[in-house]
């Protein structure tokens, strides 16, 4: 007489609406760290400078922004009226490192199913492992860039000829980073779920991010936005993140609690919607990929 078998994992396509497998995903945290290491190493493999590119790219971008937008176009870098001096180099670097993380994470997670279809078709693991690993691997590059930014930030503070001051608002920086992670992963997994059936959307991601960047306060300060359009402009969920990040780092700038809370609400809503759609699509994506 055969003995009953006790299975630790039962793979089934039956999912409830809010069955997101978060507990199971946490149990696969070792696999997440392996994927993080794989993605980070693969990005700089066979490059001469290696991880130094994480510093070179935002540094060169900041220099170009400073010359083109700051000197030639003479766009304002002020978020509020006043005489507080902020070096344009720091202004552009703060926006660029935030946008670089947001855009690369969104692009990476939006390609989750297509990039990992070979592995997912052969081995079972919670599918959320892939976008989480992508977000964490991009976070390594962001922290390298953030350290570089801190070096310039401290340099200008020690010079003493700027309006930068250290305030308790610095505590908002980790929250801004967390919000960027949630927003980028949420948008990315929504796109990745839809692109399993409609590949055209994948072609629009890069172009859409370019337009999104120019609709965000990265190349210019909020003083360039007319007051009558400010409420509409701040509907962009990345705008409160970047302006709050600058406000926290520089000790002055634009901060509106209502827009900040709105940004968190949109980020969490997109993340939850993305998890639900992702959970539903993962059951059948191998049939449509």
Summarize pLDDT for 227-238 with one digit per residue, the tens.
889 989 999 999
Does the pLDDT value for residue 3 go beyond 60?
no
pLDDT at 154: 93
Does the pLDDT value for residue 23 go beyond 70?
yes
Residue 271: which pLDDT band, with cuts at 50, 70 and 90? very high
Residue 4: which pLDDT band, with cuts at 50, 70 and 90? low
Q: Which residue has the higher pLDDT, 207 or 279?
A: 207
- The string of pLDDT tens digits covering residues 106-150 is 988 888 777 766 676 677 777 788 888 889 989 998 999 999 999
Residue 9: which pLDDT band, with cuts at 50, 70 and 90? low
C-alpha closest to that of 280 among 209, 208, 189: 189
Does the pLDDT value for residue 288 go beyond 60?
no
Q: Which residue has the higher pLDDT, 76 or 183?
A: 183
Cβ-contact 62, 153 below 8 angstroms: no
For 213-220, the CB contacts below 8 A with 24+ separation are 213/99, 213/103, 216/95, 216/99, 216/242, 217/79, 217/95, 217/242, 217/243, 218/92, 218/95, 218/96, 218/98, 218/99, 218/242, 219/65, 219/69, 219/75, 219/92, 219/95, 220/69, 220/75, 220/76, 220/77
Q: Average pLDDT, stretch 243-272? A: 92
Q: Average pLDDT, stretch 90-96? A: 93
Distances (CA, A) of 89 to 43, 104, 116, 130, 242: 27, 22, 38, 35, 16
- The string of pLDDT tens digits covering residues 181-196 is 999 999 998 888 887 7
To the nearest 5 percent, what fractions of the chain are helix, strand and coil?
70, 0, 30
Cβ-contact 130, 38 below 8 angstroms: no
Q: Average pLDDT, stretch 215-221? A: 91
- Residue 221: both structure tokens together: 């300060």
Q: Which residue has the tokens 């780092």?
A: 249
Burial class (CB in 10 A: 0-12, 13-18, 19+), 161: exposed
Cβ-contact 278, 193 below 8 angstroms: yes
- Residues 107 and 226: their CA atoms lie apart, in Å, by 31
C-alpha closest to that of 280 among 19, 26, 4: 19
pLDDT at 207: 85
Q: Average pLDDT, stretch 250-279? A: 90
How much is the mean pLDDT over the chain? 83
pLDDT at 284: 62
pTM of the model: 0.87
Cβ-contact 116, 126 below 8 angstroms: no
């Amino acid at each position: 007489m055969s003995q009953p078998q006790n299975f630790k994992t039962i793979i089934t396509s039956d999912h409830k609406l809010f069955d997101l497998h978060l507990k199971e995903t946490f149990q696969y945290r070792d696999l997440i760290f392996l994927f993080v290491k794989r993605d980070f190493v693969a990005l700089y493999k066979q490059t001469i400078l290696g991880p130094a590119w994480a510093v070179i790219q935002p540094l060169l971008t900041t220099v170009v922004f400073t010359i083109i937008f700051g000197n030639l176009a003479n766009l304002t870098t002020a978020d509020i009226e006043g005489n507080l001096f902020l070096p344009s180099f720091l202004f552009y670097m703060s926006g660029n490192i935030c946008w670089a993380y947001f855009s690369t994470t969104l692009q990476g997670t939006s390609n989750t199913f297509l990039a990992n279809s070979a592995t997912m078709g052969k081995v079972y693991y919670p599918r959320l492992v892939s976008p989480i690993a992508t977000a964490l691997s991009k976070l390594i590059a962001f922290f390298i860039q953030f350290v570089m930014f801190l070096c310039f930030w401290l340099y200008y503070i020690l010079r003493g000829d700027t309006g930068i001051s250290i305030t308790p608002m610095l505590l908002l920086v980790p929250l801004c980073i967390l919000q960027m992670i949630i927003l980028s992963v949420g948008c990315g997994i929504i796109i990745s779920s839809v692109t399993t059936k409609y590949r055209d959307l994948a072609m629009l991601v890069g172009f859409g991010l370019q337009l999104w960047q120019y609709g965000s306060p990265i190349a210019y300060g909020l003083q360039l936005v007319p007051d009558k359009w400010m409420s509409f402009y701040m509907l962009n969920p990345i705008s409160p993140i970047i302006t709050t990040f600058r406000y926290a780092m520089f000790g002055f700038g634009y901060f509106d609690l209502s827009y900040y809370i709105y940004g968190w609400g949109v980020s969490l809503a997109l993340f939850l919607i993305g998890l639900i759609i992702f959970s539903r699509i993962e059951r059948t994506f191998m049939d449509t990929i």
